[in-house]
Amino acid sequence: MRIASLRVLVALAVIALITIGFVTNIGIGTLSSFGWSDISILCPLGALTTMLGAKILVPRALIALVIVVILIVLVGRAFCSWVCPVPLLQKLRAVFRKDSKLTTPDEESTVGTGDTDTTATCRSAASLKTQSTAPPRVAGKAEKASLCHSNGDASNCSSCAQKRGTLDPRHFVLGGSLLSAALFGFPVFCLICPIGLSFAAILLVVRLFSEGDLTWSIVIVLLLLTVEVLIFRKWCSQICPLSAFMSLLAKVNRTFRPAINKATCLETAKGIDCGLCAKACPEDIDPRHPKRSYAPMSECTKCLECAKACPTKALRLPFLPGSRANGAGSDDSGGLGGSGGPNTSEQERAA
Amino acid sequence: MGESERPGITRRSAVVGAGAAAVVLGLGGFRFLPTEPTLRPPGGQATDQVVSACIRCEKCYEICPREVIVPSHIEAGILNMRTPTLDFSGDYCDWCGEANNGDPLCDKVCPTLALRLPEGASAKNTIIGVAELYTTWCLAYKLIGCRFCYDACPYEAMELDGNNRPYVLNDRCNGCGACESVCVSLQSGSIAEGADERAIIVRPLRQDGSVLYRWKPS
Ligand code: SF4
Ligand code: SF4
Ligand code: SF4
Ligand code: SF4
Ligand code: SF4
């Protein structure tokens, strides 16, 4: 099964479970407080803002917060690719776009002209491994293309130095949400959280059909969701405060990180500029070269696309870094920098 | 090209971020819009408590064994939207007497203490709201001889007058909604004309403790 379909299935299963909760009295809750009866894991942002808003310490919220922090340290942003309903809804956007793009020229060709030899190297690597393991996704962003090239001139390299900042708008939204809750005395972000709204939409539709409960809320909820998910294309990487919270904590995540076996990786074993793992990553991480990756490793959602894309299966996401089977991790601390690995040689070439 | 070259924050990010944060802060301004007093499950009566703490997790709606907790609608105010309110059209709140020995399950599952009864509070000493009977639409006041609500009241908060017409004893009423849940006034065409609600309805308390009337009682 394709890993992407597996992720969709898991997220759908979560939605199904929660919908079952709506029509029974078990008290499963939604992702805002997921659990069984009075045991729930709270959304960390909800836990923080409710305490800031109501100005009381809630023991259950504190316990949930600790559990969530531990989970994030263990699995980073895995929630984003495996559980959250928002990426599922964003898939609808692709459906709409496919229809409307039929007449316009293919995006891929425009990228190709921008950085021809880069894409060429990437393509050659792809074709080298016969079946085109290269995912069919469009390399729409310039950064993405620049990830692939390694022997460009200095000007090209300055473009590949364009990296995602340590802080970005998400962190402002996170700060704004906390401040707003404290100032105005209620969990403000909950009003517009697309995760909460997704489940509100399901509940309202269930109620509409089971109880004939007709309300403007349905329209408002669907409208907000449409704006956030379908129109704001970069909700997840630029706005979502949960994503900000998780990526901040994920900086200390060491488990389930992409690790590369140097003995089989095409780049180290055969000296080929492969870069397929970087190309596959939806978060614009270069697992092969974390140091010059556009996005830091803390953005990794453990989606497994990179592992899937690796033509020689050299890339895995082991529980612990540097586990013996892998030879060498691709970690920033790994052997790449020191022992004349590809990173060093590139740096020399670039200099 | 080491890790050190990762920029702290780009200018564009800072501008977009400041704008987005301002929007979230601005949303807080909804706090100043007037909100209607709303009927809440047991433990949600304290002023503003639900609005301040509720994360709209929908857990209380689910757990209610009698399914009387429903999401407030936008019509009840932006801040109230998706917070819990009570709908007695099908059943009433027995403080989970049947399902959990009188210990409200909604309070038990609420993870944020948005629903939280004070120490020692019970159905005997706490009220959810107060029932109001509208004589214009009550069948009994048309001398049709209906007394469903009177028979349903578990708190002995209703009495019958000389003409066998029920009325509410405000100081005994718990606001449980049993009367509302059995009221048949809307089903009798001619009398219900112009009515959009049943003839007996539980109303929330105002913040000063008085009942919120939609019409002045005669
Ligand atoms: S970034 Fe936010 S909205 Fe997007 S998948 Fe992650 S938690 Fe969900
Ligand atoms: S590094 Fe690999 S697992 Fe992590 S987000 Fe990118 S493709 Fe997914
Ligand atoms: S006390 Fe029990 S019956 Fe009453 S609203 Fe709460 S969960 Fe429902
Ligand atoms: S369980 Fe509590 S936090 Fe959740 S919707 Fe009900 S009142 Fe709000
Ligand atoms: S009058 Fe109605 S709401 Fe009041 S206690 Fe009796 S049945 Fe419940």
The three-state (H, E, C) secondary structure of chain B, written as one string: CCHHHCCCCCHHHHHHHHHHHHHHHHHHHHHHCCCCCCCCCCCCCCCCHHHHHCCCCCHHHHHCCCCCEEECCHHHCCCCCCCEEECCCCCCCCCCHHHHCCCCHHHHHCCCCCCCCCCCCCCCCCCCCEEEECCCCCHHHHCCCCCHHHHHCCCCCEEECCCCCEEECCCCCCCCCHHHHHCCHHHCHHHHCCCCCCCEEEECECCCCCECCCCCCC
Q: With a 6 A CB cut-off, is A143 part of the ligand 2 pocket?
A: no
Mutation site, A18, A157, A191, interface B, largest B CB count within 10 A: A191
Is B182 found in the same domain as B137?
yes
Contact A246, A76 (CB under 8 A): yes
Tokens of B87: 């709908």
- Residue A210: both structure tokens together: 């089971």
Interface check for A44 against chain B (CB to CB < 8 A): the answer is: no
* Ligand 3 centroid – CA B175 distance (Å): 12
The domain total for chain B is: 2
Q: How far lies A148's CA from each of A28, A127, A171, A292, in Å?
A: 45, 15, 29, 11
pLDDT for A141: 40
**B170: contact with A, CB 8 A cutoff:** no
Name which residue leads in pLDDT, A106 or A254. Answer: A254
Mark which of B109, B144, B177 sits at the end of a domain. B109
Residues B210 and B196: beta-carbon distance below 8 Å: no
Domain assignment present for B20: yes
Which pLDDT does position B191 carry in this prediction?
Answer: 64
pLDDT at A130 over 80: no
> B17 vs A169: CB contact, 8 Å cut-off?
yes
**What backbone torsions phi and psi does residue B202 show, to the nearest 5 degrees?**
-85, 125
Ranking A136-150, A273-287, A306-320 by mean pLDDT, the lowest is A136-150
Whether residue B206 lies within 8 A of chain A, CB to CB, comes out as no
How far is Cα A233 from Cα B132, in angstroms, rounded to an integer? 50
**Residue B121 domain-assigned?**
no
B98 lies in the same domain as B63? yes
Tell whether B47 lies on the interface with A, counting CB pairs under 8 A. Answer: no
Number of other CB atoms surrounding residue B139 within 10 Å: 20
The answer for residues whose C-beta is within 8 angstroms of residue A167's C-beta and 6 or more apart is: B8, B9, B13, B17
Same domain for B140 and B95: no
Rg for chain B, CA atoms, rounded: 23
Contact A165 B27 (CB under 8 A): no
Residue A208 contacts B where some CB pair is shorter than 8 Å: no
Q: What is the CATH number of the domain that holds B177?
A: 3.30.70.20
Name the more confident of A308 and A107.
A308
* 3-state SS, residue A57: coil
Mean per-residue pLDDT of chain B: 86
- Which ligand lies nearest the alpha carbon of B52? 4
Residue A334 or residue B200, greater confidence: B200
pLDDT band at B82 (very low <50, low <70, confident <90, very high): very high
If you average pLDDT over residues A52-62, what whole number do you get?
93
Which residue did the predictor score with more confidence, B218 or A264?
Answer: A264
Q: What is the pLDDT of residue A340?
A: 35
Domain shared by B104 and B16, yes or no: yes
Q: Across residues B6-26, what is the average pLDDT?
A: 87
Write down which residue in B109, B139, B158 finishes a domain: B109
Q: How confident is the model at residue B211 (pLDDT cuts 50, 70, 90)?
A: low
Distance from CA of A159 to the nearest CA of B (A): 12
Please name the member of A30, A161, A175 whose beta carbon is closest to the beta carbon of B57.
A30
Note whether A169 contacts B16, CB cutoff 8 Å.
yes
Structural tokens at position A299: 């953005």
**Percent of chain A scoring above 70 in pLDDT:** 72
pLDDT exceeds cutoff 50 at A343: no
Distance CA B154, CA B99 (A): 16
- Assess whether pLDDT exceeds 70 at residue A92: yes
Q: What integer pLDDT is reported at residue A139 of this predicted model?
A: 40
Q: In this predicted structure, which of A66-80, B36-50, B76-90 has the lowest mean pLDDT?
A: B36-50
Percent of chain B scoring above 90 in pLDDT: 53
Question: Where do the domains of chain A lie?
Answer: 3-88+174-230+240-250, 119-152+255-350
Question: pLDDT band for position B1 (50/70/90)?
Answer: very low
Q: What is the pLDDT of residue B194?
A: 72
In this structure, are B136 and B105 located in the same domain? no
Is the per-residue pLDDT at B36 higher than 80? no
For residue B14, list chain A residues with Cβ-Cβ distance below 8 A.
Answer: 172
Q: Name every residue whose Cβ is closer than 8 Å to that of residue B54 and which is 6 or more positions away in sequence.
A: A50, A187, A190, B83, B84, B112, B114
What is the reported pLDDT for B136? Answer: 86
Of A60, A157, A199, the CB nearest to B111: A60
Per-residue confidence band for B76, with pLDDT thresholds at 50, 70 and 90: confident
Contact B85, B51 (CB under 8 A): no
- pLDDT at residue A155 tops 60: no
Give the Cα separation of B174 and B124 in Å (integer).
8
* Average pLDDT of the segment spanning A317-337: 53
Average of per-residue pLDDT across A116-121: 38
Average pLDDT over residues A78-106: 76
- Pick the atom of ligand 4 nearest to B58's CA: 5
Q: Does the structure show a pLDDT above 60 at A305? A: yes
* Substitution target from B23, B62, B106 for chain A, most A beta carbons within 10 A: B62
- Residue B83 and residue B141 in one domain: no
From atom 4 of ligand 2, which residue's Cα is the shortest distance away?
A: A300
Same-domain check for residues B144 and B76: no
The pLDDT tens digits for A220-234 are 999 999 999 888 888
- Residues B50 and B95 placed together within one structural domain of the fold: yes
ipTM for the complex?
0.86
| Residue B56 belongs to domain spanning | 11-109
User: Is the CB–ligand 1 distance for residue A90 below 6 Å?
Assistant: no
Digit-coded pLDDT (tens) for A279-302: 999 999 999 998 888 999 999 999
Residues B101 and B142 in one domain: no
Residue A279 · residue A260 · CB < 8 Å: no
pLDDT exceeds cutoff 70 at A108: no
C-alpha to C-alpha distance for B172 and B188, rounded to whole angstroms: 29
* For range B106-114, the mean pLDDT: 94
State the number of CA atoms in the 13 A half-sphere of A198 facing the CB.
24
Residues of B in contact with A47 (CB under 8 A): 112
Given a cut of 50, whether residue A28 has pLDDT beyond it is yes
- Binned at pLDDT 50, 70 and 90, residue A100 comes out as low
Per-residue pLDDT at A98: 63
Report if residue B218 sits inside a domain.
Answer: no
Ligand 4 centroid distance, CA of B110 (Å): 5
Same domain membership, residue B101 and residue B25: yes
CA distance A165 to chain B (A): 5
B16 in the same domain as B99 = yes
Q: What is the pLDDT of residue B97?
A: 92
Mutate-to-test residue for ligand 4 from B49, B54, B72, B117, highest number of ligand atoms within 8 A of CB:
B54
Residue B67 in any domain: the answer is yes
Does A168 reach chain B within 8 Å, measured CB to CB?
A: yes
Instruction: Give the pLDDT of residue B208.
Output: 57
* Dihedral angle computed from the Cα positions of residues A233, A236, A240 and A241, in that order, rounded to the nearest 10 degrees: -150
B137 and B178 in a single domain? The answer is: yes
Strand segments (E) across chain A: 33-36, 39-42, 259-260, 315-316
Q: Which of A242-251, A341-350, B99-108, B158-167 has the lowest mean pLDDT?
A: A341-350
Residues 282-321 of A with CB under 8 A from B: 291-292, 296
Q: Chain A residues with CB inside 8 Å of B74's CB?
A: 215-217, 220
